[in-house]
Structure 1
């Protein structure tokens, strides 16, 4: 059976992790092997990089390169082997997040981000990307209220204007690749309704 690579993208508080988990359960119920993963943090090294990325101040270029190092490990040790054996890989974030956050959000050149990334992930590309959209102000409220700590992570602590640029970046990326991106309105807090929309698209496209 052919492997399938699905990603969930979106701003803070869009519910990506919840939807990724529900989607993994759905595929497992249909008899598929599922690898549920995330960026950063999909490998042992990635977990250490995640702690640095979410807590330590750094230059935008450094931030992108650390995300790219995580992605290199993630692709080589998790995603490619799973796809090779026919599994469904569901990743909470992938390269599009770097383009949206470090490119549109931080102002780094997109052509540089893409060139560096191409040297790391090659032709590895999601079969389908679900872009969960939510107004940044609402998304940040959700993200900060679901945390056990009162301290937001470094990205959540960014100004609202930064998160607005990130969302606009995601939408721009979706316009550039309409065949890969599926926009999903995640503003309403009913996770099951969002999941039904995702499953409907997958069934219609025969990606089961």
Structure 2
């Protein structure tokens, strides 16, 4: 992937499985940067309106094969990359990507897509100045997710890995799917040298760690502003 040095803005990514608290930490980090006078944009996964509609329709019919699944989420990433991330970086803003290209990698790899093929498809993507991985132990993740629902309607067909034929019941499939997904995320985290945050710590303690880790980024940005 390419470097972000050609843009005046700064790209930060927050990765993790569903239920790890990505949205909460992204919003808190946004408030922090804004309090320091920085322009901030949060870029979330599956936000391209046309593509999101196509994904929703195909999901409702349970007709997404692994390759189509990957291409649609890849198309969503390309759309947000070109229309949200790059313009914001060009304008000198901080971009907080809540799930970046690494999410596409994980969802593809778990469905049997060749790792080199899917990563090679995204050679154009920028390497974030810092990528945080919100690490949740599987047992804690399961408890965090399941307390929200008392029936299987809560579990999305694909987020439960039902398309992989892991188990007959959604809850059972969800358990197996999330276990495998966590393993893949940990591999990707090590390969791309993510900064690991214990997502089972209190929310404010996690946020303080993120702020401490991004302090140098903020300091460099303020220095650049002052030298203009």
**TM-score exceeds 0.5:** yes
Shift of 1:54: 5.9
Q: TM-score, normalised by structure 1?
A: 0.85
1:98 aligned onto 2:104: yes
Assess, with a 3 A threshold, how the Cα gap between structure 1 residues 154 and 140 changes in structure 2: closer, same or farther. Answer: farther
Shift of 1:55: 4.6
Query: What residue number does 1:195 align with?
Result: 207
Assess, with a 3 A threshold, how the Cα gap between structure 1 residues 207 and 140 changes in structure 2: closer, same or farther. Answer: farther
1:8 aligned onto 2:34: no
Assess, with a 3 A threshold, how the Cα gap between structure 1 residues 123 and 69 changes in structure 2: closer, same or farther. Answer: closer
1:66 aligned onto 2:78: no
Distance 2:93 2:58 in 1: 29
- For the residue of structure 2 that corresponds to 1:12, the secondary structure is coil
Query: What residue number does 2:34 align with?
Result: 28
Query: What residue number does 1:80 align with?
Result: 86
Query: What residue number does 1:185 align with?
Result: 198
RMSD, aligned CA: 2.4
Query: For structure 2, which runs of at least 5 residues remain unmatched after alignment?
Result: 1-6, 162-172, 222-228
Moved over 6 A (4+): none
Shift of 1:108: 1.4
Shift of 1:164: 1.6
Query: For structure 1, which runs of at least 5 residues remain unmatched after alignment?
Result: none
Which piece of structure 1 moves more, 150-159 or 18-27? Answer: 150-159
Count of residues paired in the alignment: 200
Structure 2 counterpart of 1:154, from 140, 150, 157: 157
- For the residue of structure 2 that corresponds to 1:86, the secondary structure is coil
1:109 aligned onto 2:133: no
Assess, with a 3 A threshold, how the Cα gap between structure 1 residues 207 and 199 changes in structure 2: closer, same or farther. Answer: farther
Distance 1:141 1:49 in 2: 31
Shift of 1:138: 2.5
Shift of 1:204: 4.4
